[in-house]
C-alpha cells in the first residue's frame, strides 16, 4: 500500500507559505523570504524564516516538537503521536504563560516570545532570537579562569539568571509539604533501572541505602510553577547583553529547588559531547554558586534539598545517557568503552560528591 503521509519536504513547503502569510510582515512576497533548512534535534524539527528590509531584519522560528532521540524513523514529522502533540501543546502553553508572568521589570532576561501554534502541524511559532549560545561563553570563561580571579562575565550572567528565576518563582510561591518519601521512591526506581542497564549493583545499592536514611528529613519547603526546560544550553545572549531563554518545556507545580537542581546539573554536563571533557569534567563550582547566591538573596537556602534533588536529577541524566547510547548505531565495543570510561565514572563521581555534601 502507498504511504500517503506527507513527507517532511511537503510539510516544510506548506509551513513556509502558511507562516509567511500569518506571522511575517504583511505582503512579504515569497521571493523576498529567506529560510533555513530543517534542523533535526533530539526533541523537535525546526527551521527559521527571515525577512530583511533596509532597517534590519525580523524573523521567526518554527518548531515541531517530537520525540526523535536519534531514531531515524522518528525524523519523519508525520505521523505525530499523542505524546508528541502533548509536548507541543505543553510547551506552547508555558510560553504563553511566561509571556504574561515572566517578570518584565528585569527586562534584560527574557523568554522567547510566542507568536502562535499551528495545531495541524504541532508547530510552535516564536520570534527569532539573534543571539549566541551562553554555554559557549561559559566554557570560554571557565577555561580562562585563573585561581585568583573572582568573577567574570559568565558569573554575571549566572547571577542575572538566578535573580530572574527567583522573581518568576515568587509570582506563584506557596508553602508545601516536603514529601521525601515520594522523592526517594522515584530515585530508587531510577536506580533499579540503572542496575538493569548494567550499572554496578553495589554502587546502586549504596545510593538506595543512603537515601533510606533520609526518610526523616523534615524541612519547610515552597512550591511554585517550575519549568522543565530551565537548561543552560537554552540560554542565549545577544550583542547588547540581553539574555534570552528558549524552550521552557512543560510547567509543573513543584519544589522551587527542582528548577535549581535541574539547572545546576545542566551546567555540570557543560563539557559533554566535546573533546574538552577529557581535560575538564565540570565547570568551576563558583558559577553555580553565583546563580544560587543571587537566586536566594537574603532568604534561607535549603542546601540539603538542593543536594538531594541534584542527585535525583543526576540519576535521570545518567539513565538518559544510557537511552541515548543504546539508540546510537555504534559498534558494541565502542558503546561499552564509552560507558566504562566516560558515562559511569562521571556520574559516580558527581553522585559521590553530592552524597558527601549531604552528610548523614
Write the CB contacts of 175 (distance below 8 Å, at least 6 apart in sequence): 220, 221, 222, 223
Q: Which segments within the chain are labelled E, that is strand?
A: 34-35, 39-40, 44-52, 57-65, 109-111, 114-118, 123-127, 132-133, 174-176, 221-227, 235-237, 243-245, 251-255
**Shortest spacing between CB 30 and ligand ATP, in angstroms:** 21
Return the one option of ligand ATP, Mg ion, none that residue 159 interacts with (CB less than 5 to 8 A, by type): none
Q: Binding string to ligand ATP for residues 122 to 141, with x set by CB under 6 A, is what? A: ----x-xx------------
Residues numbered 218-237 forming contacts with ligand ATP, rule: CB under 6 A: 234
Measured CA distances, 139 to 271, 276, 279 (Å):
8, 9, 12
Return the one option of ligand ATP, Mg ion, none that residue 42 interacts with (CB less than 5 to 8 A, by type): ligand ATP
Residues numbered 235-254 forming contacts with Mg ion, rule: CB under 5 A: 247
3-state secondary structure of 331: coil
Number of other residues whose CB lies within 10 A of the CB of residue 191: 22
- CB-wise, 61 or 271, nearer to ligand ATP? 61
- CB-wise, 125 or 343, nearer to ligand ATP? 125
Contact 331, 249 (CB under 8 A): no
Binding-site residue total for ligand ATP (CB under 6 A)? 14
94 binds ligand ATP per the rule CB under 6 A: no
Distance CA 133, CA 273 (A): 15
**For ligand ATP, which residue of 246, 314, 315, 343 counts as binding (CB under 6 A)?**
246
**Alpha helices of 105-152 — where are they, by DSSP H?**
134-144
- CB-wise, 90 or 289, nearer to ligand ATP? 90
Binding site for Mg ion (CB under 5 A): 247
Binding site for ligand ATP (CB under 6 A): 41-44, 46, 61, 63, 112, 126, 128-129, 234, 246-247
Amino acid at each position: 500500500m502507498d504511504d500517503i503521509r506527507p513527507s517532511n519536504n511537503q510539510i516544510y513547503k506548506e509551513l513556509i507559505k502558511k507562516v509567511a502569510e500569518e506571522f511575517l510582515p504583511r505582503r512579504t512576497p515569497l521571493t523576498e523570504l529567506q529560510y533555513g533548512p530543517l534542523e533535526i534535534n533530539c526533541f523537535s524539527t525546526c527551521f527559521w524564516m527571515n525577512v530583511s528590509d533596509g532597517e534590519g531584519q525580523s524573523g521567526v522560528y518554527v518548531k515541531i516538537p517530537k520525540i526523535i532521540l536519534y531514531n531515524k524513523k522518528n525524523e519523519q514529522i508525520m505521523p505525530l503521536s499523542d505524546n508528541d502533540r502533548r509536548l507541543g501543546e505543553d510547551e506552547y502553553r508555558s510560553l504563553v504563560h511566561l509571556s504574561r508572568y515572566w517578570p518584565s521589570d528585569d527586562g534584560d532576561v527574557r523568554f522567547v516570545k510566542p507568536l502562535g501554534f499551528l495545531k495541524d502541524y504541532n508547530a510552535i511559532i516564536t520570534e527569532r532570537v539573534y543571539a549566541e549560545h551562553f554555554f559557549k561563553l561559559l566554557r570560554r570563561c571557565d577555561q580562562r579562569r585563573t585561581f585568583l580571579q573572582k568573577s567574570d562575565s559568565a558569573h554575571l550572567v549566572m547571577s542575572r539568571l538566578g535573580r530572574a528565576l527567583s522573581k518568576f518563582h515568587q509570582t506563584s510561591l506557596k508553602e508545601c509539604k516536603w514529601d521525601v518519601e515520594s522523592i526517594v521512591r522515584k530515585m530508587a526506581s531510577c536506580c533499579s533501572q540503572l542496575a538493569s542497564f548494567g550499572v554496578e549493583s553495589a554502587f546502586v545499592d549504596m545510593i538506595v541505602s543512603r537515601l533510606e536514611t533520609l526518610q526523616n528529613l523534615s524541612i519547610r519547603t515552597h512550591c511554585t510553577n517550575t519549568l522543565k526546560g530551565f537548561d543552560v544550553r537554552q540560554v542565549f545572549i545577544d550583542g547588547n547583553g540581553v539574555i534570552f531563554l528558549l524552550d521552557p518545556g512543560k510547567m509543573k507545580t513543584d519544589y522551587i529547588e527542582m528548577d535549581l537542581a535541574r539547572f545546576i546539573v545542566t551546567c555540570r554536563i557543560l563539557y559533554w559531547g566535546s573533546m574538552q571533557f577529557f581535560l575538564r569534567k565540570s565547570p568551576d563550582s563558583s558559577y553555580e554558586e553565583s546563580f544560587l547566591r543571587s537566586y536566594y538573596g537574603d532568604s534561607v537556602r535549603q542546601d540539603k534539598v538542593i543536594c538531594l534533588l541534584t542527585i535525583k536529577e543526576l540519576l535521570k541524566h545518567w539513565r538518559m545517557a544510557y537511552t541515548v547510547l543504546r539508540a546510537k548505531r555504534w559498534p558494541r565495543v565502542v558503546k561499552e568503552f564509552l560507558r566504562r570510561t566516560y558515562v559511569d565514572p562521571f556520574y559516580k563521581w558527581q553522585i559521590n560528591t553530592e552524597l558527601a555534601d549531604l552528610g548523614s
